[in-house]
Amino acid sequence: MNTVQFIPSELSFSIEKATYKWQTPSNIALVKYWGKRDPQIPKNASISFTLNNCHTITSIDFVKKNTSSEINFELFFDGQKKEAFKPKIAQFFDRIKSYCPYIFEYDMTINSENSFPHSSGIASSASGLSAIAMCLLNLEKELNPKLSTAFINQKASFLARLGSGSASRSIEGPLVVWGNHPEIEGSSDLFGVKFAHKVHSIFENYQDAILLVDKGEKQVSSTIGHNLMHKHPFAEQRFLQANENLSELSEVLKNGDIDKFINIVESEALTLHAMMLTSNPYFILMKPNTLEIINAIWSFREETGSKICFTLDAGANVHVLYPENEKEKVNKFIAESLSKYCQNGQYIFDAVGFGAKKL
Ligand code: DP6
């Protein structure tokens, strides 16, 4: 695998002081990444919708320093110094330092905020790390103006992946594939690539309502979860299945077979949780209300012919997916019939988005 391309050769270090600010989104996987090996290489390819409203805004102030022996940064979240988040970011910088030698040259002050509520159970690592990656690439572009936008996006995704695998899918949109897949040209284990084909109009501006079932701290970190796939009795079969599901889904996205879409997406969500149920140690991340919502979605689909479906990430929250032409009907259904299963009645209406934005 060629990672040398991401080691910069021509940097001028002409900049004394700079601030860059980026907004990057969360994403929701349709085919799930669950299982990896070092260094952050996925065991199967995954694909996600990039979101729009759920995002992180991060600015980094860079101030040139006199010595370049160590990496120095301060971290603020919602205006407050956040020591608790520092180890994860320090580990991220350590993983990327050979690709971003300039982080030794500057004192960095990182200011970050999320558009979604605190500890909502919505993973912030994808949007959080992709936002830092874009700020770093912004500096790199200033230090080497020859860099193309395509390279910048690719390297940002490459860096973000080293922080959190799913973050590699949060640079571009509306659909991003991460992980080498024989049928997806250009796909790579190293970075996410935009799904290159024309997508059927039914999937344009697809809606995602995130139902906040349980806002508690995650019982199991995703890193521990991924590690449980190492000795998992069904792991190899799962990785094959995910790659097959991606082959099928990529046809579905082109031909608009929405019933097949629903089948693949819901099966992926339940399989992800089945992997957790059947690992050792085993765990259950769904809550009773997760199941209430799933059953209510199935009844609604049965009764109304709606094309609504659900997916889950590694938690109890439910992502409700539906085409734009059903927005009015489904939003009403969510408010009237599903919100009662949400903690404090909270849910977030989101839709597919297009990736990182410079502010
Ligand atoms: C269930 O990207 O959070 O959301 O690479 O350890 O940071 P790390 O894991 P992370 O795993 C995400 C898992 C998932 C499925 C997915 O987004 O594909």
Q: What is the pLDDT of residue 149?
A: 97
Gap between the Cα atoms of 330 and 209, Å rounded = 9
**Residues 74, 82: contact at Cβ < 8 Å?**
no
Q: What is the pLDDT of residue 215?
A: 73
Q: What is the pLDDT of residue 51?
A: 97
| Cβ neighbours around 32 below 10 Å, total | 27
Q: If residue 25 lies in a helix (H) or strand (E), which one and from where to where?
A: strand 17-31
Chain-centroid distance of CA 275 in Å reads 20
Q: What is the pLDDT of residue 218?
A: 64
Nearest-CA residue for ligand 1 atom 12 is: 166
CATH class of 207-351: alpha beta
**Residues 267, 245: contact at Cβ < 8 Å?**
yes
Q: What is the mean pLDDT of each run of 10 residues along the chain (359 residues)?
A: 87 88 98 96 98 97 90 95 92 97 96 84 87 98 94 98 97 98 96 96 98 78 89 97 98 98 98 96 94 98 98 95 98 98 95 98
Gap between the Cα atoms of 84 and 241, Å rounded = 37
Q: What is the pLDDT of residue 18?
A: 97
Q: Is residue 80 classed exposed, middle or buried when 0-12, 13-18 and 19+ CB atoms within 10 A define those classes?
A: exposed
Nearest atom of ligand 1 to the alpha carbon of 32: 18
Instruction: Measure 176 CA to ligand 1 centroid, in angstroms.
Output: 14
Domain boundaries, the chain: 15-198, 207-351
Cα–Cα–Cα angle for 84, 223, 276, rounded to 5 degrees = 130
Q: What is the pLDDT of residue 119?
A: 65
Is CATH 1.10.10.10 what the domain over 15-198 is classified as, yes or no? no
Residues lining ligand 1, judged by CB closer than 6 Å?
29, 32-34, 40, 46, 123, 125, 164-166, 222-223, 226, 272, 313-314
Gap between the Cα atoms of 279 and 305, Å rounded = 36
What is the DSSP-derived secondary structure letter of residue 276? H
3-state helix, strand and coil shares in percent for the chain, rounded to the nearest 5: 40, 25, 35
For a mutational test of ligand 1's pocket, the pick from 33, 132, 170, 175, i.e. the residue with the most ligand atoms closer than 8 A to its C-beta, is 33
**Residues 308, 206: contact at Cβ < 8 Å?**
no
Q: What is the pLDDT of residue 124?
A: 84
Helices (H) and strands (E) in the chain, counts: 8, 14
**Residues 35, 42: contact at Cβ < 8 Å?**
yes
Cα–Cα–Cα angle for 24, 29, 32, rounded to 5 degrees = 135
What is the DSSP-derived secondary structure letter of residue 172? B
Q: Is residue 158 classed exposed, middle or buried when 0-12, 13-18 and 19+ CB atoms within 10 A define those classes?
A: buried
Q: What is the pLDDT of residue 10?
A: 75
Q: What is the pTM of this model?
A: 0.96
Q: Which two tokens stand for residue 289?
A: 């209300």
Nearest atom of ligand 1 to the alpha carbon of 36: 5
**Residues 330, 297: contact at Cβ < 8 Å?**
no
Q: Which two tokens stand for residue 94?
A: 């350590």
